[in-house]
Structure 1
Amino acid sequence: MSAVWWRRLRAYVTPPLLAEEPWRKALDGCPLAQRLDLARQNELRRLVGVFLARKRFHALADAELTDAACTLIAMQACLPVLRQGPRSLRGWRDILVYPGEFRVKRSHHDDRSGVVTETDDVLIGEAWEHGPLVLSLADVQLDLTHPWDGYNVVVHEIAHKLDMLDGPPDGVPLLPPSIPRRQWIVAFQRAFDLLSNDVARGRDTLIDPYGAESPDEFFAVTSELHWSQPSVLRRADASVAELLEAFYGPSSAPA
């Protein structure tokens, strides 16, 4: 076994703590992390070290991806797993970063007619089951500049990753024993149905209407609100807000 291979293996199994200088620089650039208490900041620093050791970043379409930008992405990606731990980031390795919005081709097969329709979707983020995390760097930077506006693309996509740990996304992630699965399903289904009904009737909603696309998008959208605008989430649905706090831990956003 070569010395280089052994060092890489050791860094993967027991990643070193993120060094002080890059940690402080990232903390200065991430308001969501700045407001954590010291104990959770220390845990976040450990998780970021694990993330950077075990994930691989890929700059696409000439994206200018610096080490500092990677650390800021890792920091936001680890916020939702502060309570779940590094094992909740298993099953995937790569982060693909575009400079801005990116296009994805979709094919839809209509079972009744047999017709296949192809469309181009313009996205700012995407999470593949057992595959990469895909992000728009411009939107990552926008979220860091406006941390309390209710949106965070990294948190959104990590929520999808957590949702997919037990199979295709359905809005029900792997839950700790302290959260009854039935309670989660009932509360989230009721809230999703209410949002879908309001969106269908053209009513204004506190929760982003995109959450009405599907139960898994509802979970991801409300996860963004938990970290960025928890007071809005509580006004929209107190039961969902309570369950997300039990799952993620307290939000670091201003009250």
Structure 2
Amino acid sequence: MTASRRRRLRNQPFPPSWERILEQEVPLYDSLSITDREELKAHIQVFLAEKQFEGAGGIVITDGIRVKIAAQACLLLLHRETDYYPGLSSIVVYPDEYLAPFEELDEAGVVTSGTDRRSGESWEQGTLVLSWADMQMAGVDGEGAYNVVLHEFAHQLDAEDGITDGTPFFPRRAARKHWQRTLEVEYERFKEEVAQGKIPVLDPYGAESPAEFFAVATEAFFENPGELKEHYLALYEELSRYYRQDPAAWPATISNGGTS
């Protein structure tokens, strides 16, 4: 899409029905400043014009589904000079968790295949898959830092430099090196806490790989920023520099003890 067309999309009036969806269905929207809300809405218009949505498992794609996904995806783009997930073309939505095939190679070289239940996936072939039921759990009391949309779109950002390794694209080499040093230290500390059976601020699934660590850290950064900043200050500051946001400073009345 050309820059001029994107500019026209960003400047066109935002549908009132979409605004109501943001106010009623996207808890994080209430935390944003008026300026950030306007920027987010502009990004949403471009995102929805460029990405295709497909229902699977019997679900019908509505504006509510499209806008809720777009809002959270575009939250990761605020204040940043970046593209609109250039590697992504389509988003598939299931009504609930779905079965997906997998293959695992063990240390002996034996391949095990089967299926498992998933709430979301980010594919290298331009597709992202989400469970609508799991999307509804974001921001709900008792769910901590869980947000499957932020998680999967963090994987998309991670892959923009050609490899999904927990280090997204940085235009400057120095910033990339600083990120890698910080994430390596914080990741090793996190894995040790998980191995010791401690209850971490981050989802233990993040111990699977640096890529998953970045994804669950992104969830916590927006959904549980106060605790993340308290327990992983260096990680929080690195994420704040990358996303150019400071969710821990958002209005506490919107959050759940510093979370959303």
The alignment's TM-score, normalised by the length of structure 1, stands at: 0.88
Distance 1:130 1:231 in 2: 35
Select the residue among 75, 81, 96 that pairs with 1:79.
75
Amino acid at match of 1:240: L
Return the offset for 1:12. 6.6
Shift in CA distance, 247/35, structure 1 to aligned 2, threshold 3 Å: same
Matched, 1:56 2:48: no
Distance 2:26 2:19 in 1: 10
After superposition, give the CA deviation of every residue in 1:209-251 in whole Å (9 maximum; x if it has no partner): 1111100100010100111111111122100001111111122
Return the offset for 1:45. 0.5
- 2:95 — aligned with what? 99
Matched length:
246
After superposition, give the CA deviation of every residue in 1:118-171 in whole Å (9 maximum; x if it has no partner): 032211111012421100001112215459831111111110000000112111
> Contact 1:149–1:229 at 8 Å: present in 2 too?
yes
Distance 1:88 1:193 in 2: 31
Distance 1:42 1:138 in 2: 28
After superposition, give the CA deviation of every residue in 1:80-136 in whole Å (9 maximum; x if it has no partner): 1113355141122100000000111111345x7443210322111110124211000
Distance 2:160 2:207 in 1: 22
| Structure 1: gaps (5+ residues) | 1-9
After superposition, give the CA deviation of every residue in 1:54-85 in whole Å (9 maximum; x if it has no partner): 00000000013211221111111110111335
Select the residue among 189, 195, 214 that pairs with 1:219.
214
Task: Indicate the SS of the match to 1:205.
Answer: coil
Distance 1:147 1:31 in 2: 15
- 2:128 — aligned with what? 133
CA RMSD of aligned residues (A): 2.4
- 1:108 — aligned with what? 104
- 2:186 — aligned with what? 191
> Contact 1:59–1:96 at 8 Å: present in 2 too?
yes
Amino acid at match of 2:9: P
Select the residue among 21, 26, 31 that pairs with 1:26.
21
